[in-house]
Chain A
């Protein structure tokens, strides 16, 4: 049973548009929700993360929206650029021990 469900599987966005990736979880004990970006042939790299005591976190063009009651969180990429084309993973963790990842979203930003 997958602990974190991610959608969509793939996403095509025009340059300058907004990319939105959604994740849902069941375990209410999760207390740390990171997003990772992965380029082909590389390991994932932390993009942005949020704790459940805040509803939104913004870093540059990247924003996490967190809805604790719905057990959902999403990544918004504003002004999407071709260089943002990558695979994005959401994840969740309890007390920073085990990390559970979503299945990934392959983003393609068209020039």
Chain B
């Protein structure tokens, strides 16, 4: 998975609790993305980062926050988890210096909010 790890890989939590998902890369890529994948919706962008401390919102950012204090780590936080945030979360990275700017995806985190 192109030097991308996500942790945890599986998590079950309860409504109202805070949750933080971690994406770690060893590729020194500039861009990092958080997506959620739900049946019938494909992948939807939550937030992305174009550098350390530089982030922007995606299509479905409500209820989520992100932080990137180091090039290699991009954290996704659900401040107060809701059942609608039950999903599979994917992190992706992109170098930003090649013609086609390929995105490489991590293995995913399956989050269940009860």
Which chain A residues have a beta carbon within 8 Å of chain B's beta carbons?
Answer: 6, 9, 32, 34, 41-46, 49, 89, 91, 96-104
- Is B68 engaged at the interface, CB distance under 8 Å to the other chain? no
Q: Establish whether residues B100 and A32, one from each chain, have CB atoms under 8 Å apart when the complex forms.
A: yes
- Would A101 and B43 count as touching, CB distance under 8 A? yes
Residues of chain A contacted by B107 (CB below 8 angstroms): 42-43
Other A-B contacts than A32-B101, A89-B43, A96-B101, 13 sampled, CB-CB below 8 A, are A6-B42, A9-B40, A32-B100, A43-B105, A43-B106, A43-B108, A44-B43, A89-B42, A97-B50, A98-B45, A99-B33, A100-B45, A101-B44
Give Cα A103 to B106, complex, Å.
19
- A32-B101, A43-B108 are known contacts. Are A100 and B40 too (CB-CB below 8 A)? no
Question: What sequence of 0s and 1s flags, for each residue 94-105 of chain B, a beta carbon within 8 Å of any chain A beta carbon?
Answer: 101000111111
Question: B4-48 toward A: CB 8 Å interface, digit per residue (1/0)?
Answer: 000000000000000000000000000001010000111111001
The answer to whether A99 and B42 have CB atoms under 8 Å apart is no
Give the contacting residue for B90; candidates A6, A32, A44; CB below 8 A: A44
Cα A96 to Cα B98 in complex, Å, equals 11
Q: B1: CB under 8 A from chain A?
A: yes
